[in-house]
Amino acid sequence: MLFIIEHLEPKLSEWLSIEYSNAARIVGKNNLILTNVKKVKESQKIKRIAQVERRRVKELFNQKELIVLDPRARKKLSPADMRGKRAIVIGGILGGEPPLGRTRRLLTASLPRALARNLGEHQFAIDGAVYMAKRVLEGKRLEEVPVQRGLEIRISEVYSTFLPYAFPLVKGKPLVSSELVDYLKRT
């Protein structure tokens, strides 16, 4: 099964690049394709971590072979959904709080014949969504994957940053890359 991230932000920010890199570590460079990467410099940077495609996912695959993850989809992703599918599509969108429904507008609407599924009631970061989909692909139900809602990142003795998203727990710890923590501490 391929994991596809449709790059939908206007530019490849450092934060977005960090999430893409962590997603590649989770599923492997050969299993991850970033689509809709139009800018040459961005494409060159992404090629170091994943496969890159200038075209959109709808131009590359038969939509009936796709599962698109959309927080507003009516049904939860389940292991049974994976049968007969070739790829899971995740929106390359940095989330907002509250969620703005951009996945539906920018991705799901362009894939009307794809199977739309959500990851439960929570909003995940891109790499977290990849991890959750991978676990479901491995046969886990969403309810079997522990999740922590929100994460406080201590910046200094006085300041912290709160990320309001859901984070899968891996060996009891939230899935967040050390690069993202470092980025948040220096910005």
Distance CA 38, CA 42 (A): 8
Is the pTM for the entire model greater than 0.85?
yes
Q: What pLDDT does residue 27 have?
A: 98
Task: Please give the average per-residue pLDDT across 111-130, as a whole number.
Answer: 96
According to the model, what pLDDT value does residue 82 have?
Answer: 94
Output the CA–CA distances (angstroms, integers) from residue 129 to 96, 154, 157, 165, in the order listed: 15, 23, 31, 11
- How many angstroms separate the Cα of 155 from the Cα of each of 15, 98, 152, 182? 16, 23, 9, 9
CB half-sphere exposure, 83, CA atoms < 13 A: 3
| C-alpha gyration radius of the chain | 16
What is the C-alpha separation between 125 and 130, in angstroms, rounded?
9
**What is the pLDDT at residue 95?**
81
What confidence tens digit (pLDDT) does each residue in 60-99 have? 999 999 999 999 999 999 999 999 999 999 999 988 777 7
* Cβ neighbours of 166 (radius 10 Å): 23
**Residue-range domain boundaries for the chain:** 2-145
- Residue 17's pLDDT is 97
Mean pLDDT is lowest, of 20-24, 81-85, 96-100, 107-111, for: 96-100
Q: How far apart are CA 66 and CA 147, in angstroms?
A: 25
Residue 23 exposed, middle or buried by CB count within 10 Å (0-12, 13-18, 19+):
buried
Domain range 2-145, its CATH number among 3.40.1280.30, 3.40.50.300, 3.40.50.880, 2.40.50.110: 3.40.1280.30
- So what's the pLDDT on residue 151? 97
Token pair, residue 39, equals 């800018």
Percent of the chain with pLDDT over 70: 100
- Measure the CA–CA gap between 171 and 12, rounded to whole angstroms: 30
